[in-house]
C-alpha cells in the first residue's frame, strides 16, 4: 500500500513539474522575439523562474561568476534560495558558505543539512528569517534549541542520533508556532517517553510522522498538545493485548 502511495505521489509530483516545464517552455515560444537567441537574452523575470528549479549550490557555481549581470541578479534580487548539503564536500562547501550562503541567509527558504561536518556552520540558523523548510539528518539534540526562533518554519524533518531527552525535544518542536508538518525519527531502540497532559502548550502541527516506538496509552497525553492535528503516522505502536482502543478519541 505504501509503495503504491509513493508511486502515486511521484506521478503527481512529476505531473506538476512537467506542467511547470511546459509553462516555462511555452513562455519562451510565445514571446517569438527574434532578439532572444542565447540564454543571456532571457529577461530577469524569466530567469528567476528558471532558478526556482536549481539548488543554491548549482546556481552559485553555474551563474554567480559568469558575468556581472548574473551576479547582480543573484545578489540584489528577491530570489529565495534552497540549500542542500548532502552532495558537497567540506572544503567546497566552506567556500560556498562564505561567498553565497552566509551573505544571503535572509533569503534562504529551504535548508537540508545531512553532512555532520557542515552542521556547526549553521549555529546561527535563527537569523534565517525566511526559512520555511528544514531537514536535519543525523542530528544531535543540542542543535534543536536554535530552531525555536524560526518564525516562518512550516515543515520540519529531523533524525535524532543520540540518546536525548525526548520530552525536551517535543517541547521545543511544539513551540514552533507556524509549523504544519513534522517528521521526527529516533533510534529504533528508543521508546516514546510519557508526556504529561498539556495545560498551556498548543502546537500548530497538522501532519505528524513519528519513526519510533510508543505505547498506545502514551499517545493519549501526547495528542493533547496537538489540537490541530489532521494526520498522524507512528511506525511502531505497542498496545496491551485486548485493549479497547475505541475509547481514544483520536482513533
- Each residue's pLDDT tens digit, 184-205: 988 766 656 677 888 788 899 9
Q: pLDDT digits over 34-72, tens only?
A: 555 577 788 888 888 888 888 888 888 888 888 888 888
pLDDT at 209: 94
Q: What is the DSSP code string of 61-91?
A: IIIITT-HHHHHHHHHS---EEEE-TTS-HH
**Start-end of H helices in the chain:** 2-31, 44-51, 56-59, 68-76, 90-96, 116-119, 166-174, 216-222
pLDDT at 124: 76
Residue pair 4/12 in contact (Cβ under 8 Å)? The answer is no
Under DSSP, the state recorded for 153 is -
Q: Tell me the pLDDT tens digit for each residue of 109-164.
A: 999 887 766 776 677 777 888 999 999 887 776 777 778 888 899 999 998 876 66
pTM of the model: 0.74
Query: Is residue 90 scored above 50 in pLDDT?
Result: yes
Distances (CA, A) of 189 to 1, 137, 183: 26, 18, 18
Amino acid at each position: 500500500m505504501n509503495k503504491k502511495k509513493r508511486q502515486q505521489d511521484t506521478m503527481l509530483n512529476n505531473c506538476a513539474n512537467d506542467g511547470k516545464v511546459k509553462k516555462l517552455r511555452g513562455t519562451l515560444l510565445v514571446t517569438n522575439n527574434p532578439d532572444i537567441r542565447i540564454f543571456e537574452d532571457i529577461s530577469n523575470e524569466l530567469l528567476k523562474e528558471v532558478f526556482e528549479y536549481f539548488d543554491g549550490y548549482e546556481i552559485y557555481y553555474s551563474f554567480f561568476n559568469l558575468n556581472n549581470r548574473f551576479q547582480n541578479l543573484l545578489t540584489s534580487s528577491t530570489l529565495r534560495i534552497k540549500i542542500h548539503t548532502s552532495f558537497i564536500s567540506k572544503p567546497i562547501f566552506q567556500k560556498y558558505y562564505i561567498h553565497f550562503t552566509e551573505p544571503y541567509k535572509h533569503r534562504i527558504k529551504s535548508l537540508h543539512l545531512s553532512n555532520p561536518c557542515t552542521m556547526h556552520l549553521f549555529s546561527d540558523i535563527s537569523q534565517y528569517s525566511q526559512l520555511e523548510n528544514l531537514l536535519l539528518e543525523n542530528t544531535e539534540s543540542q542543535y534543536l534549541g536554535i530552531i525555536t526562533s524560526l518564525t516562518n518554519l512550516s515543515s520540519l524533518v529531523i533524525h535524532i542520533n543520540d540518546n536525548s531527552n525526548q520530552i525536551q525535544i517535543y517541547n521545543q518542536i511544539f513551540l514552533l508556532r507556524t509549523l504544519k508538518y513534522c517528521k521526527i525519527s529516533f533510534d529504533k531502540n528508543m521508546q516514546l517517553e510519557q508526556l504529561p497532559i498539556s495545560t498551556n502548550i498548543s502546537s500548530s502541527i497538522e501532519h505528524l510522522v513519528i519513526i519510533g516506538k510508543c505505547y498506545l496509552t502514551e499517545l493519549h497525553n501526547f495528542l493533547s498538545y496537538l489540537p490541530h492535528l489532521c494526520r498522524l503516522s507512528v511506525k511502531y505502536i505497542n498496545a496491551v493485548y485486548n485493549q479497547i482502543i475505541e475509547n481514544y478519541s483520536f482513533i
